[in-house]
């Protein structure tokens, strides 16, 4: 019983931690657009254009249509970045980057490399925090 209670507390804390991290991302800007990347609190470590979608990226239904027939397979851009207000945290985003694939709005994911978990999706360029409860 104690182990079950301890596991519940850990899961609850983890859900709150994810929500806190994601809310810090959206407090910078609710959209993953040029304004987000120009913010003084965001530091880009690496940007890799023409990236193949990651396994995590392919799991989201909204994105699977773009990848049908491999027409947008290499239209992704991967960015590794940090946030000054979240010291020690490193993030990876993989988003669509070609208008003929996404209609001019980015779609993708934001992943915490510290926990190896997807913490948000990007839909129509908006950051949507995932509920980890």
pLDDT, block means (10 residues), the chain with 133 residues: 41 45 89 91 92 70 61 79 94 82 79 92 89 53
Predicted confidence at residue 64, as pLDDT, reads 63
Predicted confidence at residue 62, as pLDDT, reads 58
Q: Residue 103's Cα: distance from chain center in Å?
A: 19
Predicted confidence at residue 84, as pLDDT, reads 93
Predicted confidence at residue 11, as pLDDT, reads 35
> Is 76 in contact with 96 (CB distance < 8 Å)?
yes
Predicted confidence at residue 111, as pLDDT, reads 92
Predicted confidence at residue 89, as pLDDT, reads 95
> Is 119 in contact with 21 (CB distance < 8 Å)?
yes
Cα(22)–Cα(87) distance, rounded to whole angstroms?
Answer: 14
Run of H or E residues at 21: helix 2-28
Predicted confidence at residue 98, as pLDDT, reads 75
- 95 closest CA partner among 114, 131, 55, 122: 122
């Amino acid at each position: 019983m104690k182990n079950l209670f301890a596991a519940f507390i850990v899961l609850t804390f983890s859900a709150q931690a994810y929500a806190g991290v994601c809310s810090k991302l959206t407090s910078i800007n609710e959209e993953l657009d040029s304004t987000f990347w120009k913010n003084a609190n965001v530091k880009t470590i690496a940007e890799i254009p023409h990236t193949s979608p990651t396994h995590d990226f392919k799991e989201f239904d909204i994105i699977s249509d773009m990848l049908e027939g491999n027409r947008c397979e290499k239209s992704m851009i991967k960015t590794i970045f940090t946030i000054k207000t979240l010291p020690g945290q490193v993030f990876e985003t993989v988003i669509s980057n070609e208008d003929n694939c996404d209609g001019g709005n980015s779609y993708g994911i934001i992943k915490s490399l510290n926990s190896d978990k997807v913490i948000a999706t990007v839909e129509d360029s908006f950051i949507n925090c995932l509920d980890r409860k």
